[in-house]
Amino acid sequence: MRWALLAAISLASAARAHDADVIYALVEQRGEALTETVTLTTSSLGLLAPVDADGDGALSAEDLTARADALRSGVWEDMPLSAGGVRCPLGATQARLREGFVELTATFNCPEGELRQDFRFLRVLPANYRVVLGSQVDGERGADGVAQGSFSTLPIPRPRPVGSWNSGDFQRGFDEGISRSLRADSLFCLAGVLLAFARWKRGLVALAFLLAGVIAGSFIALPFLVTALIVAFTLLATFARKDAPVALGLPLGAALAARFAGTSFAESMGLSAGFALAWLLVAPAFIAFGVLLARRTKRAVVVRVGVAICGIVLLGVTRS
Listed range (7-11, 82-86, 287-291) with the worst mean pLDDT: 7-11
Q: How far is CA 122 from CA 36, 83, 109, 118, in A?
A: 17, 21, 24, 9
Write out pLDDT tens, residues 150-183. 888 998 887 766 555 667 778 888 998 898 888 8
What DSSP string describes 157-194? PPPPBTT---HHHHHHHHHHHHHHHTSHHHHHHHHHHH
| Beta strands at 153-156 and 115-118: parallel, antiparallel or unpaired | antiparallel
pLDDT per position as a tens digit, 34-74? 889 999 998 889 889 888 887 887 888 888 888 899 999 99
Q: Is the pLDDT of residue 142 over 50?
A: no
Residue 32's pLDDT is: 72
Residue type, 266: A
Rounded to whole angstroms, how far apart are CA atoms 117 and 147? Answer: 10
**DSSP, res 99:** T
Q: What is the arithmetic mean of pLDDT over 223-247?
A: 79
Distance in angstroms (rounded) separating the CA atoms of residues 131 and 285: 53
**pTM of the full structure:** 0.50
Give the number of other Cβ atoms within 10 Å of residue 31's Cβ.
Answer: 9
Polymer length in residues for the chain? 320
Distance between CA atoms of 258 and 251, rounded to whole angstroms? Answer: 10
